[in-house]
Amino acid sequence: MKIVARGQLLRQELAYESWHMQHCLGQFEDLEVLTGGYAEYYATEKEEGMLRLLSLRDAHNKPHVTLSLERDMTGTGWRIEQIKGKQNAVPIAKYADDVLSLLNFLAPSSESNPDCLNMGIVYRPELEQDQQLQQETGDLYFYFHELKHEQAVESIVFEHPWLLQRFPVETACLNWILLAGRATQDTELPQQPTEHSIVQAVRQYQKQVRASDLNSLQQFPYFNLPFQFKATQAPSFARRMLMLYLMLWVLFWAMLSRIPIIKGCFYGITKYCYRLVVSLRNSGYEAQRWALATGDVIYYRQGILQEVTSEKLQSEVFEQNKTQYLSHLNRMLEIKSNSPIHQERQLLKFLKDYFVTDQLDQIYQLSYAKAHQHLRDMIVFDHIQKIFLMRLLVQFYQFSEQVAWSYIFASAQIIQDCCSNWESLGDAYVKGRELILLILTSHDENIDRSATVDVSRYLQHHQNNWDYLAWDLSFLQELQLEQAA
């Protein structure tokens, strides 16, 4: 109902609303004559036409939600001032639909009102300023989880993760983003058995992390991730030989054919045959090669692509340039001493925070336009780097290869979930690198933008893994949570 009373009757209405809702709308200093206090402001603003008050009530006239509108910046329209439930809390979920319908009927502006977003309700014009909105309905206000634009949902949830308690939205990429943000580490997320409950899995792992021996790097503590990776079911050798034979036969006829459509397929058939030959040569190592290939731009940038392109973590080129690569590893892990205790402490810290992207929670502080749309880019770039660091850990700190591959495969899964193909991975690498550099330097004009050139040149390289490795290789076949001890 709309509160339209004036004079003493208006003050009685405000006091009645405040008594039931236990908020300050009708808190008068003098309860006998209903004057003074917080309520005096609301009564005065309402009578002067600067405030509109609405109360959502049941059949027994009992209030459940109080909504106030105030004049907008133009002085001619209205904007949301507050939407409050009992004791100034967020209105309970059962009244959200009614509030949503009321907002669409009144059509006020939002101007980033926190009470509106607290209910999981977003304002279309504010989103349209940042990204192309993919939405089935044309409503001015709607629930954030109805967005078809996944990155917009991810941005809203990352900034306000508690919204998932009211409106669960489960996607693989969203889980990784929540896990990567330090601001969400103390947030209680819904414990629902979903297909991709990786957030809860890794948090369970973090609780169970323990060192078996802190006295020797030779016996580095073993960490069991609470999810398991099954071997990839690749086509059998005989099947791939048959496929290669058939494709070579088609290739032969394509070379001789005068039919334009067959001749036009010549390049595609040749490329497919090359992929088959490579997969035969590297049978059983597809997952390893895929995971390491995510960092090919880094290796190409350093001029070591050919020497490290394999399924092995260690490389002679790392050892030959030990000073350079060990210095990089120690800088990234903040290892500042040769003390074994200090080194292990930093390595343990690195593992404990492995799934956290340090700069992710700073993205909203950037003046960079639409920076919050690039949460995925920062995570992808971060895990490309972490795979590289895992290789250096195995090379220089005798880190267990078996454990390293568990982390690397987890990173590979994150990268795959946050990108759609190798091309989008390259794009995420460029944007993520530039955003992190912007956070670290705070000067857009000083950012090194050579990554775009690096990716372009890598794609033209004759030993380009991205050109023949299938993108949709599966790493995470089954997720199994370990029972807490």
> For residue 484, is it within any domain?
no
Helix (H, G, I), strand (E, B) or coil at 109: strand
Question: Which pLDDT score is estimated for 327?
Answer: 96
Tokens representing residue 201 in the block: 């899995």
Question: Which pLDDT score is estimated for 249?
Answer: 63
Of residues 17 and 420, more confidence is placed in: 420
Q: 63-90, pLDDT tens digit by residue?
A: 999 999 998 877 788 999 999 999 888 8
Indicate whether 252 and 206 sit together in one domain: no
Indicate whether 197 and 275 sit together in one domain: no
DSSP-derived secondary structure letter, 371: G
User: How far apart (Å, rounded) are the C-alpha atoms in residues 375 and 357?
Assistant: 10
Half-sphere exposure at residue 370, Cβ-oriented, CA atoms within 13 angstroms: 14
Question: Which pLDDT score is estimated for 369?
Answer: 64
> For residue 11, is it within any domain?
yes
Indicate whether 27 and 128 sit together in one domain: yes
Helix (H, G, I), strand (E, B) or coil at 26: helix
Domain boundary (116, 148, 180) is at 148
Indicate whether 275 and 208 sit together in one domain: no
| Residues contacting 426, CB < 8 A, separation 6+ | 297, 455, 458, 459, 466
User: How far apart (Å, rounded) are the C-alpha atoms in residues 485 and 467?
Assistant: 45
Domain boundary (95, 116, 148) is at 148
Residue range 386-405: average pLDDT? 90
Examine the pLDDT at 246 and tell me if it is beyond 50. yes
Amino acid at 224: N
Question: Between the ranges 177-186, 254-263, 320-329, 352-361, where is the mean pLDDT highest?
Answer: 320-329
> For residue 172, is it within any domain?
yes
User: How far apart (Å, rounded) are the C-alpha atoms in residues 451 and 439?
Assistant: 17
User: How far apart (Å, rounded) are the C-alpha atoms in residues 54 and 70?
Assistant: 12
Phi-psi region of 6 (alpha: psi -120 to 50; beta: other; left: phi over 0): beta
The model's confidence at residue 362, banded by pLDDT at 50, 70 and 90, is confident
Question: Between the ranges 158-172, 176-190, 434-448, where is the mean pLDDT highest?
Answer: 434-448
CA distances from residue 326 to 73, 292, 394 in whole angstroms, order as listed: 57, 19, 11
| Residues contacting 249, CB < 8 A, separation 6+ | none
Q: How many CB atoms lie within 10 A of CB 307?
A: 14
Question: Which pLDDT score is estimated for 298?
Answer: 94
Indicate whether 141 and 242 sit together in one domain: no
Residue range 420-441: average pLDDT? 92
Question: Which pLDDT score is estimated for 270?
Answer: 60
Residue range 91-116: average pLDDT? 90
The model's confidence at residue 448, banded by pLDDT at 50, 70 and 90, is confident
Indicate whether 257 and 364 sit together in one domain: no
Q: What counts of helices (H) and strands (E) characterise the chain? A: 21, 5
**8 Å CB contact between 289 and 282:** yes
Of residues 2 and 57, more confidence is placed in: 57
Examine the pLDDT at 313 and tell me if it is beyond 90. yes
Examine the pLDDT at 215 and tell me if it is beyond 60. no
Indicate whether 335 and 244 sit together in one domain: no
- Mean model confidence pLDDT for the chain: 76
Indicate whether 412 and 383 sit together in one domain: yes
% pLDDT > 90, the chain: 24
Question: Which pLDDT score is estimated for 394?
Answer: 94
Indicate whether 288 and 378 sit together in one domain: yes
> For residue 187, is it within any domain?
yes
Select from 63, 49, 50 the least CA-distant residue to 20. Answer: 63
Q: How many CB atoms lie within 10 A of CB 249?
A: 10
> For residue 485, is it within any domain?
no
Question: Between the ranges 259-263, 357-361, 379-383, 440-444, where is the mean pLDDT highest?
Answer: 379-383
Instruction: Kindly report whether the global pTM for this prediction surpasses the value 0.75.
Output: no
Indicate whether 301 and 206 sit together in one domain: yes
Domain boundaries, position 245: 235-282
Question: Which pLDDT score is estimated for 287?
Answer: 79
DSSP characters over 192-253:
---TT-HHHHHHHHHHH---S-SS-GGGPPP---SSB-PPP-PPPHHHHHHHHHHHHHHHHH
Examine the pLDDT at 269 and tell me if it is beyond 90. no
Domain boundary (219, 247, 282) is at 282
Question: Which pLDDT score is estimated for 330?
Answer: 96
Question: Which pLDDT score is estimated for 344?
Answer: 87
> For residue 2, is it within any domain?
no
Q: How many CB atoms lie within 10 A of CB 442?
A: 11
**8 Å CB contact between 395 and 318:** yes
Indicate whether 177 and 325 sit together in one domain: yes
> For residue 452, is it within any domain?
yes
Indicate whether 468 and 338 sit together in one domain: yes
Angle between helices 422-441 and 375-396 (to 10 degrees): 90
Q: How many CB atoms lie within 10 A of CB 224?
A: 12
**8 Å CB contact between 373 and 379:** no
DSSP-derived secondary structure letter, 363: G
User: How far apart (Å, rounded) are the C-alpha atoms in residues 464 and 300?
Assistant: 10
Residue range 101-110: average pLDDT? 91
Examine the pLDDT at 323 and tell me if it is beyond 60. yes
> For residue 304, is it within any domain?
yes
For the chain, the maximum distance between any two Cα atoms, rounded to a whole number of angstroms, is: 102
The model's confidence at residue 183, banded by pLDDT at 50, 70 and 90, is very low
Q: Mean pLDDT lowest for which of 9-18, 45-54, 116-125, 222-231?
A: 222-231
User: How far apart (Å, rounded) are the C-alpha atoms in residues 217 and 223?
Assistant: 14
Q: How many domains does the chain have?
A: 3
Examine the pLDDT at 389 and tell me if it is beyond 80. yes
